Amino acid sequence: MSKLAKAEKAAKAEVQGELRPGQSVELLKELHILTREGRLNQDSRRKLKQVYHLFQFIEKLLQELPGDGAGATLADHGAGKSYLGFIIYDLFFKARGGGHVYGIETRTDLVDKSRALAGRLHFERMSFLNLTVAESATATELPERIDVVTALHACDTATDDAIAFGLAKHASFMVLVPCCQAEVAACLRQTKALALSRTPLAELWRHPLHTREIGSQLTNVLRCLYLEANGYQVTVTELVGWEHSMKNELIIARHTGQRKASAAARLSELLAQFGLESLMETRFRLP
């Protein structure tokens, strides 16, 4: 065997070692995880590991659903190129012959591309809707119930809209990796968190960069309390391996039906202390 043929064989074996049974090579090429020649480089291997890592969280949740999740519905908000939805479909739903993945995205070009790719791969139970997350909560194209809601780096308040969507659709699980958040920081800048302004705590948002960071942190804390107040058990972890992004907080909410009164009280108190009562009427309206 020539040197070239040997190298080709080794590269093929390497790719085979990374693939799951039945996984679409064509999809991985489209997602630029594999090169057009079907090769894997170090960057791609890292990317594949990250995608698998996130998928593993979601797979476990899907398997908790009736019928081991075979007929589950999943909506991915702020889908972008929909690589998360595609990977979930390819690794979970494709072989099961049931279930449906919805990708919600405002950019028409990305929606068109995802539709075309799903057509080429014969991923029939995938739909891509050119809607905002907020619009999708009442859109007729979606069923009344969605089992799993995902939102990976959905911009700004799109994560809040995804939570509202999950509540409206009685989702069993929500998997959220929030993106940058500006709304709370803007409120903080305006109100200067009056109740706290005379305390040393005000140092936490004196500099504009800190205002932004604490705004983002506070937003995620408020989101978790809001989910708990609405009958979800919440875990917050790091999306390990997501080194390419500063935003790697993973919030997993599991519906238990037990509305935590203490979380609702804490949410109201925090909003009041930080001078964010206006958000009580919009984002964090309690049941």
Ligand X SMILES: C[S@@+](CC[C@H](N)C(=O)[O-])C[C@H]1O[C@@H](n2cnc3c(N)ncnc32)[C@H](O)[C@@H]1O
Contact residues for ligand X, defined by CB under 6 A: 78-80, 104-107, 110, 132-133, 152-155, 158, 161, 179
> Exposure string (b/e) for 110-127, b if CB count within 10 Å is 16 or more?
bbebbbebbeebebebbb
In angstroms, the CA 195 to CA 284 distance is: 20
Q: Give 133 or 187: the residue with its C-beta nearer to ligand X.
A: 133
How far from the centroid of its chain's Cα atoms is residue 130's Cα? 17
Smallest gap from Cβ 267 to ligand X, in A, equals 23
User: How does strand 249-255 pair with strand 232-238?
Assistant: antiparallel
How far from the centroid of its chain's Cα atoms is residue 112's Cα? 21
SS3 100: strand
* Residues, the chain: 287
* Helix axis angle, 261-273 to 208-229, nearest 10°: 160
Smallest gap from Cβ 239 to ligand X, in A, equals 11
Which residues on neighbouring strands pair with residue 149, listed in sequence order? 75, 174
Q: Give 24 or 157: the residue with its C-beta nearer to ligand X.
A: 157
Q: Give 133 or 193: the residue with its C-beta nearer to ligand X.
A: 133
- Which residue sits closest to ligand X, CB atoms considered? 80
Q: Give 155 or 201: the residue with its C-beta nearer to ligand X.
A: 155
Smallest gap from Cβ 110 to ligand X, in A, equals 6
Smallest gap from Cβ 31 to ligand X, in A, equals 10
Smallest gap from Cβ 128 to ligand X, in A, equals 11
Q: Give 47 or 260: the residue with its C-beta nearer to ligand X.
A: 47
Smallest gap from Cβ 177 to ligand X, in A, equals 7
Q: Give 138 or 256: the residue with its C-beta nearer to ligand X.
A: 138
Smallest gap from Cβ 222 to ligand X, in A, equals 19
SS3 212: helix
In angstroms, the CA 171 to CA 181 distance is: 23
Q: Give 111 or 264: the residue with its C-beta nearer to ligand X.
A: 111
Which has the closest alpha carbon to 174: 188, 199, 204, 154? 154
Q: Locate 236 and state its tokens.
A: 């917050």
